[in-house]
């Protein structure tokens, strides 16, 4: 067979996005790794809202916010999805034929320069590392179906050959990009109430690892120090900074709020109140990223003290509510 399809019938034109990737989301794209799991689980008929407990522990790390990812052990415990690192010891195309042919998928770091879904940003413009999930391989037509960011897409022709490095001469200095094998032959489809109970216990566990001090207070102090340098380096540098910081913070707390609202609808109604605090944080970061761009471009004051103080206050209140609820019993 020339076409290896792990999910037959999946096509870009009929792909249905999860509401987390919908037009009503403040951050339709979170980060490449979290996004592919949201889209993939949704395609399998599973509920990605159940996997998001880890976002409660997101922290400001000094030069960035946590680049959050679902723990692989929790994908297994929640859904029966097994993920293992792929040893890329031969050309990636050979691994793709092997594993997609066996009903497994491959997630792999890739160069966005060759991903047509990034048209207008990185496609044929910038060599940027991202992660995709390979789901369908058509060898005869040189076509690949893949999950990336908020959608499912296809690439072909030169993009296919470059992504798999079929044209370049062998380079002994080339280091293979990180890849994983995703097995779905032992999927677990739990009743909603049971899934929520498992997710709630995971939330308890992750809550213990929440930041020990207010991350937004620390972020505000660092932003004040870094802003002059960002102005000096211009908008391109600012956008790189903003992706690693403001976007990750905003997306993480939007996901945490969505997780709590889902749990509230599944028998834990008291979690709706802290969800509001974290929703406000997600929306405030959307405002901050725009204000920051204007301040860097114009040289004018950022004037975001009130906004940052509000996020710090919402974090304290939200975590305080969660602490009282999660530590009970």
pLDDT at 57 over 60: yes
**What pLDDT, on a 0 to 100 scale, did the predictor assign at position 327?**
83
70 in a structural domain = no
202 in the same domain as 298: yes
State pLDDT tens for residues 101-147: 999 999 999 999 999 999 999 999 999 999 999 999 999 999 999 99
147 in the same domain as 16: yes
Its domain, for residue 196, covers: 192-326
117 in the same domain as 19: yes
Distance CA 55, CA 242 (A): 19
- Is residue 167 very low, low, confident or very high in pLDDT (cuts 50, 70, 90)? confident
User: Do 177 and 108 form a contact (C-beta atoms < 8 A)?
Assistant: yes
User: Do 75 and 264 form a contact (C-beta atoms < 8 A)?
Assistant: no
pLDDT at 328 over 80: no
158 in the same domain as 100: yes
Distance CA 130, CA 249 (A): 19
Residue in this structure with the two tokens 């949201």, named with its chain if needed? 38
From residue 146, alpha-carbon distances to 54, 107, 136, 217, 315 in Å are 25, 9, 7, 39, 36
Q: Which residues contact 2 (CB under 8 A, 6 or more apart)?
A: 138, 139, 140, 141
316 in the same domain as 215: yes
pLDDT at 225 over 80: yes
User: Do 36 and 133 form a contact (C-beta atoms < 8 A)?
Assistant: yes
40 in a structural domain = no
- Per the prediction, the chain carries an average pLDDT of 97
Q: Which of 158, 183, 208 is at the close of a domain?
A: 183
179 in the same domain as 312: no
* Token code pair at residue 183: 């097995």
Q: Which of 183, 213, 246 is at the close of a domain?
A: 183
**What pLDDT, on a 0 to 100 scale, did the predictor assign at position 241?**
98
Q: Which residues contact 150 (CB under 8 A, 6 or more apart)?
A: 17, 21, 28, 29, 35, 39
From residue 254, alpha-carbon distances to 20, 31, 34, 198, 276 in Å are 9, 13, 13, 21, 10
> Please, is 212 exposed, middle or buried when counting C-beta atoms within 10 Å of its C-beta (0-12, 13-18, 19+)?
exposed
201 in the same domain as 167: no
Q: Which of 165, 183, 201 is at the close of a domain?
A: 183
55 in a structural domain = no
64 in a structural domain = no
pLDDT at 37 over 60: yes
For the residues 214-234, what does the mean pLDDT come to? Answer: 97
Distance CA 73, CA 54 (A): 12
171 in the same domain as 209: no
201 in the same domain as 320: yes
152 in a structural domain = yes
110 in a structural domain = yes
| Residue among 259, 207, 307, 251 nearest 66 (CA) | 251
- Is residue 1 very low, low, confident or very high in pLDDT (cuts 50, 70, 90)? low
State how many domains the chain has.
Answer: 2
For the residues 274-287, what does the mean pLDDT come to? Answer: 98
State pLDDT tens for residues 174-187: 889 999 999 999 99
170 in the same domain as 205: no
**What pLDDT, on a 0 to 100 scale, did the predictor assign at position 276?**
99
For the residues 247-275, what does the mean pLDDT come to? Answer: 99
Distance CA 232, CA 299 (A): 9
- Is residue 158 very low, low, confident or very high in pLDDT (cuts 50, 70, 90)? very high
Distance CA 37, CA 52 (A): 11
132 in the same domain as 9: yes
69 in a structural domain = no
For the residues 15-38, what does the mean pLDDT come to? Answer: 97
278 in the same domain as 314: yes
278 in a structural domain = yes
Give the residues across from 130 on adjacent strands: 110
Give the residues across from 275 on adjacent strands: none
The vertex-308 CA angle with 307 and 310, nearest 5°, equals: 65
* Token code pair at residue 166: 């079929």
* Predicted model pTM: 0.96
């Amino acid at each position: 067979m020339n076409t290896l399809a792990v999910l037959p019938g999946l096509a870009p034109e009929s792909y249905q996005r999860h509401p987390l990737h919908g037009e009503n989301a403040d951050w339709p794209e979170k980060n490449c790794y979290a996004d592919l799991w949201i889209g993939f689980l949704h395609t399998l008929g599973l509920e990605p809202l159940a996997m998001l407990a880890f976002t409660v522990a997101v922290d400001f790390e000094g030069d960035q916010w946590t680049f959050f990812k679902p723990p692989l052990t929790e994908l297994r415990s929640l859904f029966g999805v097994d993920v293992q690192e792929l040893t890329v010891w031969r050309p990636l195309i050979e691994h793709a034929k092997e594993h997609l042919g066996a009903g497994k998928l491959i997630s792999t770091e890739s160069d966005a320069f060759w991903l047509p879904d990034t048209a207008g940003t990185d496609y044929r413009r910038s060599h940027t590392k991202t992660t995709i999930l390979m789901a369908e391989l058509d060898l005869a037509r040189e076509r690949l179906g893949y999950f990336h960011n908020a959608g499912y897409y296809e690439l072909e022709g030169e993009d296919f050959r470059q992504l798999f490095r079929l044209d370049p001469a062998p380079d002994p200095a080339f280091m293979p990009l990180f890849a994983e094998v995703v097995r779905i032959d032992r999927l677990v489809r739990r009743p909603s109430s049971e899934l929520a109970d498992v997710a709630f216990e995971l939330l308890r566990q992750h809550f213990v690892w929440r930041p020990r001090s207010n991350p937004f207070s620390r972020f505000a102090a660092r932003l004040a120090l870094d802003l002059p340098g960002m102005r000096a380096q211009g908008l391109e540098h600012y956008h790189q900074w903003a992706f690693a910081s403001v976007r990750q913070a905003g997306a993480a707390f939007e996901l945490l709020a969505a997780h709590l609202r889902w749990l509230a609808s599944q028998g834990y109604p008291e979690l709706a109140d802290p969800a509001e605090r974290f929703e406000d944080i997600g929306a405030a970061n959307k405002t901050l990223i725009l204000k920051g761009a204007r301040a860097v471009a114009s040289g004018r004051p950022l004037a975001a003290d009130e906004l940052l103080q509000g996020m710090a206050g919402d974090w304290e209140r939200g975590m305080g509510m969660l602490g009282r609820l999660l530590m009970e019993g």
